[in-house]
Amino acid sequence: MGTPENIIVGSHVWIEDPEVAWIDGQVLKINGKDAEIETSDGKKAVANLSKIFPKDMEALPDGVDDMTKLSYLHEPGVLQNLKARYELNKIYTYTGNVLIAINPFQKLPHIYGAQMMQQYKGVPLGELSPHVFAIAGVAYRAMVNEGKNNSILVSGESGAGKTETTKLLMQFLAFLGGRAVTEGRTVEQQVLESNPVLEAFGNAKTVRNNNSSRFGKFVEIQFDKSGRISGAAIRTYLLERSRVCQVNDPERNYHCFYLLCAAPQEEIEKYKLGNPKLFHYLNQSQCYELADVNDAHEYLATCRAMGIVGISQKDQVFLSQARI
């Protein structure tokens, strides 16, 4: 943080701004504990020296991939670095062995394909650009080499992208863990296909994003001594059941209700389903569809996923009836 000793007239600094959080400027005058600053947008402001942060004038325009390399590891310096990288579609940045991910609010399939997984397999942290696969790889290798349990914590505010990040971690761990067959289905398949089921029954559209988890999730993937996946368990907690009864506009209820309403015609007739607008639990909000999402397709995909994870056709019918 800035101090009277290292901030002088002419210093380039960061000060708080009510609109953009932090704005850069140059010190014009210092009067006791206050400084008069001309900001980059041509305005003048007065700020207390204790709330002024020095700006690194030698910072790279496209930022650094590890923020421990920053000259000033303060809030405006960190945010400016993340902003610079985000504008270049670089959504991942390290701070030591911690990965910061910023939700791009768009699909970036080119950075998650099979080629990318192969590229990050066995690579030490920091050798390649920051990536969620690198974090998963480090955790996996530490587990195999040390023979001890390991954990990856995914945290962030609502809409930050925790659900998608968890799916990518599971995808890469399944890639590293190989294929062990259980009852004609690979454990890898079962691990990956658990996501569509959990999302259908536990995710909803919120103001922040279209696929927000309304519950907590602890995913445990078990590996044998050779590092292959041998089993998995997923524990859920704190499901927001109140969302079923009351939905705010423009949000949606849980995905499963809309998937049922988009089921094949024979099932709609069998279960006496119809347009979501006909049901009180759904028509409290005027949002019924999601952009770029086909509920009819998602219904079939979820039924397929339920079969892969071991939910019988009889149990699927029971679940459908229980949701109506």
Residues annotated in a binding site: 156-163
User: How far is 269 from 226, CA to CA, in rounded Å?
Assistant: 50
Q: What is the DSSP letter of 227?
A: S
Residue closest to 261 by CA, chosen among 320, 196, 194? 320
Q: Under a CB-based contact definition with an 8 Å cutoff, are residues 152 and 167 in contact?
A: no
Tokens of 281: 């639990």
Number of H helices, E strands in the chain: 11, 13
Q: At what angle do helices 187-202 and 295-308 cross, to 10 degrees?
A: 130
Q: Which strand (E) or helix (H) includes residue 218?
A: strand 216-223
Q: How many CB atoms lie within 10 A of CB 61?
A: 7
Q: How many CB atoms lie within 10 A of CB 179?
A: 12
Q: Provide the 3-class DSSP secondary structure of residue 184.
A: coil
User: How far is 178 from 237, CA to CA, in rounded Å?
Assistant: 29
Tokens of 313: 């056709």
Q: Under a CB-based contact definition with an 8 Å cutoff, are residues 192 and 179 in contact?
A: no
183 torsion bin: left (phi>0), alpha (psi -120 to 50), beta (else): left
Residues at the annotated binding site for ATP?
Answer: 156-163
Please return the burial class of 288, using the count of CB atoms within 10 Å of its CB with bins 0-12, 13-18 and 19+.
Answer: middle
Q: How many CB atoms lie within 10 A of CB 301?
A: 15
